[in-house]
A and B are shown apart, each in its own frame.
Chain A
Amino acid sequence: MAIVATRALTKRFGAGENAVDGVDIESRDGEFLVLLGPSGSGKTTVLRMIAGLEDPTSGEVWIGGRMVNAMTPRERGIAMVFQSYALYPHLTVYDNIAFPLKAQGVPRSEHEAKIGWAAEKFGIVRLLERKPRELSGGERQRVALARALVREPQVFLLDEPLSNLDAKLRASAREELQKFQKELGTTAVYVTHDQVEAMALGDRVVIMDHGRVRQVGTPAEVYDDPADTFVATFLGSPPMNLLERDGILLGFRPEHVRAGSAAEGAVGFRFRCELTEYLGSEQLAYGTLQDAAWAGREVVWRFPSWDPAPAEGSVQDVYVERARLRYFDSSTGLRRPAP
């Protein structure tokens, strides 16, 4: 167990802009910290610098109270699960899991017990004699996790470990992963571009874009109180509605739109429905506002699938409670108080 921290961590490849630009993050002990961002946001590079696979251009990496910049990956007490799983293809599952033990000089007599324990945890005992190519994607992922777990590292680093699984398997693997991490209480830093994964797994989420941290917070904080328009539109699908007027952006989530005329403490709009989508558990209505002040602004409205959908081309009253409204400065994109 350990705290992972970076101080002004920066990475520049060649002459271009900084891939990672002054990143300061600090995990709590035993926390599941998720780095979330679109591709090219620098999240994987941050993880690789924490692992020691990439040298920072400047800045520091701290693990368990030690500055580890000068340490090799093996000295950092970390375990990493790669997106591709990076299993050793010519070794059996048993030997794959044994590799970190041998490399760390764990006495041979302890191998069997430790490997048995890790294999038991991930339900892969019957696969120990197989080669990686004889395993399914889900089984490979479990082997990769067992290999990371077996040496009881101070910190787990996970680089999109679920992205190669099919959608159904991903949901159950997500649940399991969370269960193991809670059970072990080992600090985990998890990189993903999938906001659902980030929200589901993270104790806290670090949202990154263009090499910078945009916001750090619990899933609820970053979703309900985005620090800027990037976070507001990156999280949520469809993203937050943003309406511009007089240098201020008014934001509200599609699910906070309600049918009916505005009562006390709410803001009303005239909504003209252009298109509806039925998605099973919910429906989406895409439309434009008809009020003089907001004429032509596009809005998405999300409502349960059991509610009647507005007819395409119809105009109706909708409202959003004031407590749900968020305001941003339209030039900087940053949050600002209500005008």
Chain B
Amino acid sequence: MRRWLGPALVAPAFAYIALLVGLPVVLSLYLSVSDARVGSDTTRFVGLANFAGALQTPSFRGALIHSFLFTVISQALVIAGATLLALSLKEAFRGRGLVRLLVLLPWVAPISLGALGWKWLLDSLYSVVNWMLAAAGLVDPMNPPMWLGEPRLAMLSVILVHTWRTLPFATVILLAGLTSIPRDIPEAAAVDGGGFWRTHFTITLPMIRPIVLVALLFGVVFTFTDMTAVYILTRGGPADATQVLPSLAFFTGILGGDLSGGAAISLFLFPMLLLGAIVLLRIARRSEVT
């Protein structure tokens, strides 16, 4: 009885991971080295031809660059913003509960709803953002910026929306990290004469570095593999200017019917992300403090 209880209790988790994570990974690994297409019932093994083919296309190379820009810029903004937010939300002030709730909202609200809201905010004709900027005299009301229609602005928009979306989770993780620091430590720093910046840069933030790294790792992996903001706001446009690898894989494999090509694109970064995850987790473990 006892011998079976443990495995039995762990079994659902195993089954869940095997079915929902393991199986699709294996399937896409298989697809990426085959010539499978929607509608054809015979597949052949083609080796790394799909990867080589993808590298030849300009849209793939563009998407690769966009993926890096998208991830690096948004996660840099997220870590900086989340640190500031967590530091301010840790302090007691009137209405802190409400502010915490508001900060969490983008995370708990369905992303489709949030992104549709942004789509409207940034709309070419009805943009509230432009309306306000025009009212403030910052943009020409006759010729306002096309937030989702000009390549650079569109990239900026998807990056900012994704930042807005992933900021709350990072904030919560960092807030938990800051809360775990015993109250005595910042107090000792205050008595020792440390001001706000010195205390945070030499004491508080180094102490939560492992947690920051975990948040960063999570954000980077999530961002490299997520296409929601791009899909809803721009569909990768204008003219592939905001195309990232996950959205390109989706358009190629699912909408374009090229299953093997899509699988190759989506798996392209897998080895690198795996390596990155291992490295970051090692650093986090080494810098762990008791």
Contact = CB atoms under 8 A, between A and B. Distances in A.
A82 B184 contact: yes
Contacts of B193: 73-74, 100, 103-104, 151
B182 A100 contact: no
A99 B290 CA distance: 19
Given A88-B203, A103-B198, A133 B190 contact: no
A20 interface: no
Nearest to B207: A90
B191 A74 contact: yes
Going nearest first, the 6 A-B pairs with the smallest beta carbon separation are A103-B193, A86-B184, A86-B188, A74-B193, A100-B192, A89-B289
A216 interface: no
Nearest to B190: A73
A83 B290 CA distance: 17
Highest count of chain A CB atoms <10 Å: which of B190, B192, B194, B203: B192
B53 interface: no
Interface string B163-201: 000000000000000000010110111111111001000
B43 interface: no
Nearest to A153: B191
B287 interface: yes
B207 A53 contact: no
A80 interface: yes
Contacts of B190: 52-53, 72-74
B207 A99 contact: no
A89 B188 contact: no
12 contacts: A52-B190, A53-B187, A79-B191, A82-B188, A83-B184, A86-B185, A88-B185, A88-B203, A89-B290, A90-B207, A102-B198, A147-B192
A273 interface: no
B88 interface: no
B112 interface: no
A104 B187 CA distance: 16
A46 B191 CA distance: 15
A79 B190 CA distance: 10
A89 B203 CA distance: 9
Interface string A266-297: 00000000000000000000000000000000
A88 B290 CA distance: 10
Given A74-B193, A99-B192, A82 B187 contact: yes
Nearest to B202: A99
Interface of B: 182, 184-185, 187-195, 198, 202-203, 206-207, 209, 287, 289-290
A84 B184 contact: yes
Interface in A98-153: 99-100, 102-104, 131, 133, 147, 151
A150 to B, nearest CB: 9
Contacts of B198: 102-103
A276 to B, nearest CB: 45
A51 interface: yes
B46 to A, nearest CB: 51
A50 to B, nearest CB: 11
A103 B192 contact: yes
A78 B191 contact: yes
A82 B186 CA distance: 12
A103 B187 contact: no
Contacts of A147: 192
Contacts of A82: 184, 187-188
A133 to B, nearest CB: 4
A78 B184 CA distance: 16
Interface in A59-92: 72-74, 78-80, 82-84, 86, 88-91
B207 A84 contact: no
Given A52-B191, A73-B191, A104-B193, 19 more contacts: A52-B190, A73-B193, A78-B191, A79-B191, A79-B192, A88-B207, A89-B207, A90-B209, A90-B289, A99-B194, A99-B203, A100-B193, A102-B202, A103-B192, A103-B194, A103-B198, A131-B289, A133-B290, A147-B192
